[in-house]
Structure 1
Amino acid sequence: MTRLAQTNKIMWQTSGSQKGIKTLLALQLCIAWGNGMTIPLLVFYLHELRDIPLGLATSVTSIAMIVSLAGNPIGGYLADRFSARSVSSIGLMFAGIATALLGYSSNSWQIAGVIACLGFGLSISLPSQDALLAILASEQYLSTAFSFQLFLRNAGLCIGSAVGLLVMGRVDLKEIQTLYISDGFIMLLAALIILRVPESKNAKKARKEEVRLLSLLAVIGDDKRLQKVLILNFLLSAAVFSQLHSGFPAYAAEFAKHSSEVISAAYIANTVSVVALQMLILRLIRGWRHKKIIATMCFSLLVTIALVYSSAHTREFGAILFVGAAAIFAVGEILYAAAVPGMVNLIASDRSRGQYNGALVLSTTAGYLCGVTSSGFILSSGHQNLWFFALLTAILSASVTFLGAGPLRGFSAR
């Protein structure tokens, strides 16, 4: 048995609940599978089958992200006030009903309202699910637990997207409606099952204590370590992770002149790399401190940005460079999952875990919104060099800000 396999076995056995962690991760795989069937189809569905103008369809889909700015901190607060599993369940029920209704919404106002409900449901559920996973996993195995979460979510999205793309090729309204109903049913079923996931005694004890739950700004302001992680997370979300589905394909199509086949191959390479390299990277970084993981992650992301930019200036190898960049990007994703969520949950107490995860997800949402908006504006204006410089500056700023912080005791990849 390899060291990593032994680590995984110990994680399941020493966690708050062996059955609970397996159940939660399995549910997240199923939820990702359902979302993968529907989310990539949304703009196509609205434009082609509901006759909504393309620009309006794109704007409507952004409502979910805007609503999430309010839902993320609310979800974290409620998870601390009540329980992470209860809030996760309520959020999934909300999102499941909205997803099912989305397939039968016909005008732009109905669709906007349903998407807002969908975004709010998911936004309060995600930080609660992260908090619940951290509660179930013992502290020394947070890195492995969140890495497996990324692995399963990517696998689910990949499988779901394949199903969705097959249906999209047929352009049949009833089949697409069936997908949205199926996705909604999966989330509703997951909402019921997640209530069966056991909580740790420490989490229950923390809620029974008479404590004053602070506002999100107060929580962030009181913890300088959390501030450093949130700044890092915001900058990376805006400059890199949000670009995977916005700036990178736009730059590849408009400036590098890559074909749709090359862009599709890059997405496939990214997903396959995450799945294939997950275990190997976890084995390599076992025992690394958080700064070493973050430094390696930032280096891999800088290489990714450089290869994407270079793909437009090297005609002979441009396509290879772009696909290779997507594969290297997967290394950064894996290292991020192994470090950032674990650090947040290591510095959080049981009575503030929900708000800490809410703050992390909020910084991710804000970063994505900022990154998608700014990259669209810069690239549509033809300033690709400014876009490249902005991305590099953000990554370097994130590195300097975080790596200059004091040590975070107790965290290493296991």
Structure 2
Amino acid sequence: MGIDVGRPAAPDAQQGTGRSSTRRLPRSAWLVLAGEAVSCGGMGLTLPFLLVYLHEQRGIGLGAAGLIVASIGLAGFVGNPVGGWLCDVVGARRVAVAGLLVVAVGAALTPAVRSTWQGFLAAGTYGLGIALAAPARGALLALVVPVPLRGRAFALRYGLNNLGQTLGGLIGALLVVASPGGFTAIYLVEAVTFLLFALLTVRVRPRTNEPVGRSPGGYRQVVGDRPTRAVLALIVLVVAAGYGQHSAGFTGYATEGAGVDAAGLGLAFAVSTLVVVVAQLPVNGWSARIPRSRTMAAAAFTTALGWAVALVGGAVSDSVWPFVVAMGLFGLGATAFSPVVAALVNDLATDDLRGRYNAAFNLTYTIGFTAGPALAALFLSAGYPAAPLTVAVVVLLGAVLLSLRLGRLLPASVNLPAVQNHRGTQ
């Protein structure tokens, strides 16, 4: 089993539930978090504009350009499992550095793209590097942070990453508008951000030696653990029906089904980003005091409520405000869900399989982000703009029930570590 129910309790003062716990994070954790924030700023610079760059600046057909962009995510199906295995064999820090260097190469190749095959080469290199590094990045943060502070560290990571991507997107837009050479600049800057992350990672020192080598269990042990299997299934459902509809089903229904214009859509997305940034601290404080299974259930329900508001609002009015409210609810659900599941998977993991656990975690996001938009595209192309969000609401309500069921599968030390650690001191 990938569960350690015998971890020693920690003093309540060491819990990841407040600002004092943030100050208690070790130096290596801040190195990882700083690298994450900087590199996410680099990603924010470029990813929103990659399709436009390939099509308008390099003359690649829209269909081919879309496939090139999609190849970044598809690389995860190969890179995530390989990256997780390598983490457990040679160590998370080494794999993280190698993956980040591959990402930097892919970003640096992008300004040189002049044909379709070159676009696939650059995007494939970039996506493979992201996929290889992703399990290592999660494993490394878990290894440098004491168990009681793990939830706080992953919550902080989520907030900083979102802030970095938001600021990067704003700066990228300014650079692209200001000069025709802005596209070249943003990809080179992005390459530098990943090089910086690699340099910071070299300086990271895990609290204990990583138990690298050949593990007899492998991925079979990861998926053979019933609570872990349930958590991974839950993540796929929530990502496909929540995150996967953010720019697919929601956008399709808003524009095709309800006639929302680009300005209204931009306002809705801006509100979502604002909610993520503003709600981060209060949501994290609230979620630290209740079982993680209930936090995940609340996140799935909040997202379902958001999609229901959009569906009803689009059917009964011409106003953009139901869609703005829906995006706000989506942002609130995402803020509660992502940090909790990242910490939960790492609490379920054993150190000798931590890379593989994080690989499985990242692969669930890859599957969800692939399946969700694909399903939405089928409904939209068939002329049913409301169908993707309707199905998503049903799936998310099912995820609520699965989350509550999960509360009976998880050990108390994993489901509510703060309360368990406090009891251990009495």
Instruction: Among all aligned residue pairs of Structure 1 and Structure 2, give the percentage whose two residues are the same amino acid.
Output: 25
Q: Which residue of 2 aligns with 1:384?
A: 385
State the alpha-carbon separation in 2 of the partners of residues 361 and 122 from structure 1: 11
Post-superposition Cα deviations, 1:120-168, rounded to whole Å, max 9, x if no partner, equal: 0001111111111111222222221111111101100111101122233
8 Å contact kept, 1:98–1:115: yes
Q: Which residue of 1 aligns with 2:410?
A: 407
- 1:56 matched to 2:64: yes
State the alpha-carbon separation in 2 of the partners of residues 221 and 4 from structure 1: 29
TM-score scaled by length of structure 1: 0.92
Q: CA deviation at 1:3?
A: 11
Q: CA deviation at 1:4?
A: 9.4
8 Å contact kept, 2:101–2:195: yes
| Inter-CA distance 284–224: structure 2 relative to 1 (3 Å threshold) | same
Q: 1:35 aligns with which of 29, 38, 43?
A: 43
CA RMSD between the two structures: 2.0
Q: Which residue of 2 aligns with 1:257?
A: 259
Q: Which residue of 2 aligns with 1:197?
A: 204
8 Å contact kept, 2:88–2:356: yes
Q: Which residue of 1 aligns with 2:423?
A: none
Task: Tell me the matched-pair count.
Answer: 403
State the alpha-carbon separation in 2 of the partners of residues 324 and 169 from structure 1: 30
Aligned ranges for residues 191-270 of structure 1 at < 5 Å?
191-201=198-208, 203-204=209-210, 206-207=211-212, 211-216=214-219, 218-270=220-272
Aligned ranges for residues 82-101 of structure 1 at < 5 Å?
82-101=90-109
Q: Bigger shift: 281-290 or 367-376?
A: 281-290
8 Å contact kept, 1:234–1:366: yes
8 Å contact kept, 1:243–1:371: yes
Q: CA deviation at 1:55?
A: 1.7
Q: Which runs of 5+ in 2 are unaligned?
A: 1-12, 419-426
| Inter-CA distance 4–346: structure 2 relative to 1 (3 Å threshold) | closer
8 Å contact kept, 1:3–1:283: no
Post-superposition Cα deviations, 1:215-255, rounded to whole Å, max 9, x if no partner, equal: 42x13332111100110001111111121122212221111
Secondary structure in structure 1 of the residue aligned to 2:133: helix
8 Å contact kept, 1:12–1:21: no
State the alpha-carbon separation in 2 of the partners of residues 122 and 41 from structure 1: 18
Post-superposition Cα deviations, 1:384-410, rounded to whole Å, max 9, x if no partner, equal: 343233212221232333322323321
State the alpha-carbon separation in 2 of the partners of residues 299 and 6 from structure 1: 23
8 Å contact kept, 2:14–2:149: no
Q: Which residue of 2 aligns with 1:183?
A: 190
8 Å contact kept, 1:146–1:342: yes
Q: Which residue of 2 aligns with 1:295?
A: 297
State the alpha-carbon separation in 2 of the partners of residues 90 and 247 from structure 1: 36
Counterpart of 1:278 in structure 2: which amino acid? Answer: Q
Q: Which residue of 1 aligns with 2:4?
A: none
8 Å contact kept, 1:11–1:137: no
Q: Which residue of 1 aligns with 2:10?
A: none
Counterpart of 1:313 in structure 2: which amino acid? Answer: A
State the alpha-carbon separation in 1 of the partners of residues 240 and 287 from structure 2: 25
State the alpha-carbon separation in 2 of the partners of residues 343 and 46 from structure 1: 39
Q: CA deviation at 1:7?
A: 3.1
Q: CA deviation at 1:213?
A: 4.6
Counterpart of 2:133 in structure 1: which amino acid? Answer: S
Q: CA deviation at 1:338?
A: 3.4
State the alpha-carbon separation in 2 of the partners of residues 31 and 74 from structure 1: 22
State the alpha-carbon separation in 2 of the partners of residues 148 and 106 from structure 1: 39
Aligned ranges for residues 4-403 of structure 1 at < 5 Å?
7-13=18-24, 15=25, 18-170=26-178, 172=180, 174-201=181-208, 203-204=209-210, 206-207=211-212, 211-216=214-219, 218-316=220-318, 318-403=319-404
Counterpart of 2:60 in structure 1: which amino acid? Answer: I
8 Å contact kept, 1:287–1:413: no
| Inter-CA distance 11–213: structure 2 relative to 1 (3 Å threshold) | farther
State the alpha-carbon separation in 1 of the partners of residues 223 and 137 from structure 2: 24
Segments of 4+ in structure 1 off by > 6 A?
2-6
8 Å contact kept, 1:252–1:312: yes
Counterpart of 1:319 in structure 2: which amino acid? Answer: V
Q: CA deviation at 1:381?
A: 1.4
| Inter-CA distance 338–181: structure 2 relative to 1 (3 Å threshold) | closer
8 Å contact kept, 2:41–2:167: yes
Q: CA deviation at 1:311?
A: 3.1
Secondary structure in structure 2 of the residue aligned to 1:351: helix
Counterpart of 2:410 in structure 1: which amino acid? Answer: P
Q: CA deviation at 1:372?
A: 1.4
State the alpha-carbon separation in 1 of the partners of residues 53 and 123 from structure 2: 13
Q: CA deviation at 1:6?
A: 7.2
Counterpart of 1:196 in structure 2: which amino acid? Answer: R
| Inter-CA distance 131–5: structure 2 relative to 1 (3 Å threshold) | closer
Post-superposition Cα deviations, 1:72-110, rounded to whole Å, max 9, x if no partner, equal: 111111111111111111101001011011111110001
| Inter-CA distance 5–212: structure 2 relative to 1 (3 Å threshold) | closer
State the alpha-carbon separation in 2 of the partners of residues 301 and 276 from structure 1: 17
Secondary structure in structure 2 of the residue aligned to 1:25: helix
TM-score scaled by length of structure 2: 0.90
Counterpart of 1:308 in structure 2: which amino acid? Answer: A
Q: CA deviation at 1:12?
A: 4.3
Post-superposition Cα deviations, 1:318-374, rounded to whole Å, max 9, x if no partner, equal: 311111111111111111123211111111011111100100000110110111111
